[in-house]
């Protein structure tokens, strides 16, 4: 990319950020007017409550309306705060300080449509994304379409960071299918499943265990909830590179079986990169 093209691209990004900030200011003013109107309604309800509630038994209804108004006011403020956070991160990326959005921002319902339709990340050095970018190009179109359908399906055992990775992997899959001019499955309606019952979680754990035991392949590398287990194996291979081959292979077999046991029990083992993750030799966090 030439310097001129880079400059033009940066200018376009900054223009977009400026527009977003202007829209946020407009939304802030709009929200302020709404809150002022809500405050006036609440004041009038207070007067109505005092004047008429005892006579016509409107007390419970008026209290319910006031409660709804307070909830709406809080939701409006929270939504604007979240949008401002996203704008800040986008501005940082535009001026040369790119960083992935924090999990708690990406998992916000306000960003759900973006998460579902986000472009593929071709620059990330995260092992799971790098491996899937490499593997996906060699998977036949029918199987790759099936994998995308699986990636679109919310899991009853995932955590916010699993959901973030799920749709990052899906974006890579979708881009590869688009490159092949293949038909795409419809985007899902949400990123969180309504059924997180014990039965659903046990079924999901059994499904993940089957994928794990099937060994390295497209389904394994495309599965976000097994990315942590693959990270553990990758780390073990790095640490054991200088071991005698027989001992190394035996150790990997033992580790593979240990991870199988954790998965069967509902654990999602991972390297300790996040505060709620577990070290790969101590499963202290369960998905259910």
Task: Give per-residue pLDDT as tens, 244-266.
Answer: 888 778 888 999 999 999 999 99
The per-residue pLDDT for range 200-245, each reduced to its tens digit, is: 999 999 999 999 999 889 999 999 999 999 999 998 888 777 778 8
Residue 33 to residue 11: CA distance in whole angstroms: 33
> What percent of the chain has a predicted confidence (pLDDT) above 90?
42
Predicted pLDDT at 248: 78
Question: Using one digit for the tens of pLDDT, what is the confidence trace for 27-65?
Answer: 566 666 666 666 666 666 666 555 555 545 555 655 666
Which pTM was predicted?
A: 0.67
CA angle, 111 as apex, 107 and 115 as ends, to 5°? 75
Residue-averaged pLDDT of the chain: 77
Residue 273 has pLDDT above 90, yes or no: no
pLDDT at 171 over 50: yes
């Amino acid at each position: 990319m030439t310097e001129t093209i880079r400059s033009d691209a940066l200018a376009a990004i900054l223009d977009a950020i400026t527009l977003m900030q202007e829209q946020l200011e407009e939304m802030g003013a709009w929200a302020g007017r709404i809150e002022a109107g809500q405050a006036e309604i609440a004041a009038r309800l207070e007067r109505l409550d005092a004047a008429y509630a005892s006579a016509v038994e409107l007390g419970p209804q008026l209290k319910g309306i006031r409660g709804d108004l307070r909830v709406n006011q809080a939701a409006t403020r929270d939504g604007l705060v979240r949008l401002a956070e996203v704008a800040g991160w986008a501005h940082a990326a535009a001026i040369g300080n790119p960083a992935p959005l924090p999990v708690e921002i990406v998992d916000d319902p306000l960003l759900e449509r973006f998460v579902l339709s986000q472009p593929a990340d071709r620059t990330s050095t995260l092992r799971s994304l790098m491996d899937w970018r490499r593997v996906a190009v060699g998977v036949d179109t029918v199987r790759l379409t099936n994998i995308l359908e699986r990636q679109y399906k919310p899991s009853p055992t995932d955590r916010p960071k699993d959901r973030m990775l799920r749709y990052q992997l899906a974006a890579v899959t979708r881009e590869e299918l688009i490159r092949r001019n293949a038909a795409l499955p419809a985007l899902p309606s949400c990123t969180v499943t309504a059924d997180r019952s014990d039965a659903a979680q046990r079924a999901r754990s059994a499904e993940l265990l089957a994928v794990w035991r099937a060994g390295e392949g497209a389904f394994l590398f495309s599965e976000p909830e097994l990315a942590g287990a693959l990270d553990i194996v990758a780390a073990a291979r790095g640490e054991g590179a200088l071991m005698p081959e027989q001992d190394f292979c035996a150790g990997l077999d033992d580790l593979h079986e240990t991870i199988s046991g954790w998965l069967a029990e509902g654990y999602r083992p991972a390297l300790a990169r996040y505060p709620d993750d577990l070290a790969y030799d101590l499963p202290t966090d369960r998905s259910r």
